[in-house]
Amino acid sequence: MTYICINIKYTLFSTSIEGTNQIGAGIKNFIITHHHNLVAAIALIAFSVVVLCSFDSGQAMVQNPLDLKAEAVPDSLLEKMSNTNNYTLSGSILPNEGFTNSLIAIEGINIGHAIELSNALRFHVDFRFLKAGEKFKVVYDSTKTKIVEFEFMPDVVTTHKLTKDSSGTYSYKEISLPVETKFRFITGKIETTLNQALLDNDIPRSTSQVVNGILECVVNFRSDARVGDQFTVYMEEYYYYSKKLSGGKIHYVSYEGKRSGFHEAFRFDDVDPLSAYNAHYTKDGKALIHSALRLPIDKIHVTSPFGGRRHPVTGKRSFHSGVDYRGHIGDPVYAVAKGKIVYSGYDKLNGNKVVVKHTDGTKTYYLHLSKRLVKKGNSVVARQQIAKLGRTGRVTGPHLHFGIKSSKGKWVNPLLKRMIATPKLKAEKYARFLTQVEETSLKVNEYREKNKIFTLSNL
């Protein structure tokens, strides 16, 4: 059976700064063709999702947990579509739940269908950035048993659409409405807190959190922030007609105070939008927050998040002590920070396992490896390859289970953990970063000159 996906994306070009804009719409098409025995793949992946949950939490294995036969969805839950004989079932991402769990939670949906849809979309959508409330819609045919379409709408301009043909093959399309990008500078003085100053400038809370997160790495707000300190943010904002959309890349942040001194942070855009290196750095390339330099693999696709999750079959809650990253057998696995190997061995449950103890007492865990490249007692540096990704232990598919234990012995969420060390961009990435720094600095300086804003950097 053939698995075909088509990705249509409108690429937007925006050339101006502040206010006036030009939009050019281009269309990027690419077709990726995979050959799969779809049914077997779905059954295997679905089965592994279910089984992995129970293994990771140390629970007993569930025998044959899936019922892929679907019963008709009750009429009371469906909405009839106009102009077709199809019906829709709607839902949204639940707080603190992943995609699959949010789908399974829809009343009336068949679990097999939910997992099938989640796995089909997983190839195209980065499930790391899900937000509660994002909507999806399952479209059934007139029998109310067969899925014909599925739509996931993370925002008002984006629809990820899966269409199922009669042979059971899903094709994928991303539909993006034209979005206008506006560049915006925000400067201000601190009267109470930076957060308040940003909110006063109509910066959404999610963005101000990112700005705060970046600056917290370089400024000790508790001891060094003062009334009258000055900040600058240079960012992108997106509009659909006059409606401002959420999100927006932050290209630059600076903070300056008598006590804190002058600090600035620049965004690095790697070639691949999924690259773990897309993040903010100091001018000399030192990683600030959200830096994926601290991540253990090159490409980040979380297939199972940290924390409590509802078991798809038993409905029981279980605890997942780390995150699962999808990958291929043999993919390099890196130490996320400098440290010492305190365990390198094999056991039936975890397979090949490596544990690194870092200088601050934090320990990181790498499980299910196909090959361990370090021995107990070895010292490692950040980003050093310590193993190869695998599928050893009680798992059914290749992935890396990555866990972080605090110095107090408590499991923490690896996706939220701040830097353990501060690695730097190197070589070719650093060179590209410097070009981006130059471009950004040019715009920032232009803006400062035009508005007569003086900082320690341009005095």
Tell me which residues touch Zn ion (CB under 5 A): 56, 324, 401
- Cβ closest to Zn ion, residue 86 vs residue 321: 321
- Cβ closest to Zn ion, residue 237 vs residue 324: 324
- Cβ closest to Zn ion, residue 168 vs residue 307: 307
Residue 53 C-beta: closest distance to Zn ion, Å: 8
Residue 234 C-beta: closest distance to Zn ion, Å: 39
> Which phi and psi angles does 435 have, rounded to 5°?
-60, -40
- Cβ closest to Zn ion, residue 194 vs residue 400: 400
Contacts of 136 (CB under 8 A, 6+ apart): 90, 91, 92, 93, 102, 103, 150, 151, 152, 153
Which regions of 306-395 does DSSP assign to beta strands (E)? 307-310, 317-320, 323-326, 332-334, 339-347, 351-358, 363-369, 371-372, 379-380, 385-388
Residue 298, class by beta-carbon neighbours within 10 Å (0-12 exposed, 13-18 middle, 19+ buried)? Answer: middle
Residue 41 C-beta: closest distance to Zn ion, Å: 20
- Cβ closest to Zn ion, residue 110 vs residue 118: 118
Residue 361 C-beta: closest distance to Zn ion, Å: 23
Q: Give Cα 155 distance to the centre of its chain.
A: 16
- Cβ closest to Zn ion, residue 56 vs residue 256: 56
Going by C-alpha positions, the residue among 295, 186, 272 that lies closest to residue 237 is 186
Residue 92 C-beta: closest distance to Zn ion, Å: 26
Q: What is the three-class DSSP state of 65?
A: coil
d(CA 97, CA 105) in angstroms, rounded, equals 10
Residue sitting closest to Zn ion (CB): 401
- Cβ closest to Zn ion, residue 229 vs residue 324: 324
d(CA 226, CA 455) in angstroms, rounded, equals 16
Going by C-alpha positions, the residue among 365, 393, 387 that lies closest to residue 374 is 387
Residue 52 C-beta: closest distance to Zn ion, Å: 6
Residue 399 C-beta: closest distance to Zn ion, Å: 7
How close are the terminal C-alpha atoms of the chain, in Å? 66
